[in-house]
């Protein structure tokens, strides 16, 4: 029997450690278990976070091994090689496939009831692999998807239009990477059509402006990696948001990576699309309206993911 108040984090590099920190201060969990090949690193991260728990809600953070994950209701998989400057997420795949295989084998030996949240990149392909390797029901294996990309889009739109990003309603969907797309056709500012709001804001060429914002979102990770070597704060906060939806059984709509069966003309592939997220993980994929161009872009993104998986199988 698993305990949803107990969470495991596998891999405590920049991303995993930041996820552990955001989860520890979230108040969502009573226990966090940190597992890493470098046990001393896990011990140090656990101690560092524990020393600040007095400023937050009670949470026991410990360094452990796979056996300590047996009761965890949610397990974050952040193990993997770091993305190098100039390296695409897809180029990471060969280096991270072997790491994921080892992680899943050790994890499933002690726990077959948890929800798995994959954060390692390329997240869409690795989520597919995690589902195949674990044999878990598809809904209990999800990835961080385009949750962070969508937050980046909301932030940039909010900055440009002078509104709170929480009042911006728009999605980035598809691959968490180069083939992702912005869904402009249904984007709005608290119900006001985005194009109309752009005109109100004095933007005379909204298509050009929105294209620049999309490119900034798509390339944000590369720019951050070039500047500081890695991205981790944003994804740490995105993981906290996904965990919140699961633990609190919110049935929130988030563009997590989930297995798609027939939606958008795509079948048997994992992509970041609007999904109802609750206590059972990825509970239902939503068929949001897309323009013909957006649908074609999403299907191309799916084909990119399928090609990568076929190369792995080959």
The one catalytic residue in 176, 216, 251, 263 is 176
Write the DSSP assignment of the chain as a string of letters: --EEEEEEEE--SHHHHHHHHHHHTTT--SEEEEE-SSHHHHHHHHHHHHTTGGGSS--EEEE--GGGGTTEEEEEE--SPPPPTT--TGGGHHHHHHHHHHHHHHHHTT-SSSEEEE-SSSHHHHHHHHHHHH---GGGEEE-TTHHHHHHHHHHHHHHHTS-GGGEE--EEB-SSTT-EE--TT-EETTEEHHHHHHHTT-S-HHHHHHHHHHHHHTHHHHHHHHHS---HHHHHHHHHHHHHHHTT--EEE--EEEEESGGG-EEEEEE--EEEETTEEEEE------HHHHHHHHHHHHHHHHHHHHHH-
51 belongs to the catalytic site? no
Active site residues: 176
């Amino acid at each position: 029997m698993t305990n949803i108040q107990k969470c495991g984090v596998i891999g405590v590099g920049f991303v995993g450690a930041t996820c552990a920190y955001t989860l520890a201060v979230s108040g969502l969990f009573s226990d966090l278990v940190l597992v890493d090949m470098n046990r001393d690193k896990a011990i140090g991260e656990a101690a560092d976070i524990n020393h600040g728990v007095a400023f937050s809600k009670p949470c026991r953070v410990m360094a452990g091994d796979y056996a300590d994950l047996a009761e965890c209701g949610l397990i974050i998989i952040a193990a993997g090689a770091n993305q190098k400057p100039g390296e695409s997420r897809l180029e990471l795949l060969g280096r991270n496939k072997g790491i994921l295989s080892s992680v899943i084998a050790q994890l499933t030996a002690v726990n077959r009831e948890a929800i798995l949240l994959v954060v390692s990149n390329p997240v869409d392909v690795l989520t597919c692999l995690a589902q195949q390797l674990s044999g878990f029901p598809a809904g209990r294996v999800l990835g961080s998807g385009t949750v962070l990309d969508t937050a980046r889009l909301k932030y940039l739109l909010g900055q440009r239009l002078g509104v709170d990003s929480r009042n911006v309603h728009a999605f980035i969907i598809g691959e968490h990477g180069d083939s992702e797309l912005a869904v402009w056709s249904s984007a709005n500012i608290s119900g006001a059509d985005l194009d109309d709001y752009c005109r109100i804001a004095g933007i005379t060429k909204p298509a050009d402006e929105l294209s620049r914002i999309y490119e900034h979102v798509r390339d944000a990770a590369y720019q951050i990696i070039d500047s500081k070597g890695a991205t981790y704060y944003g994804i740490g906060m995105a993981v906290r948001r996904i965990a919140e939806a699961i633990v609190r059984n919110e049935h929130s709509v988030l563009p997590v990576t989930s297995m798609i069966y027939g939606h958008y003309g795509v079948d048997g592939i994992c992509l970041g699309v609007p999904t109802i997220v609750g206590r059972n993980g990825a509970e239902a994929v939503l068929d949001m309206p897309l323009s013909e161009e957006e649908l074609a872009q999403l299907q191309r993104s799916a084909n990119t993911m399928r090609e990568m998986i076929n190369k792995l199988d080959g």
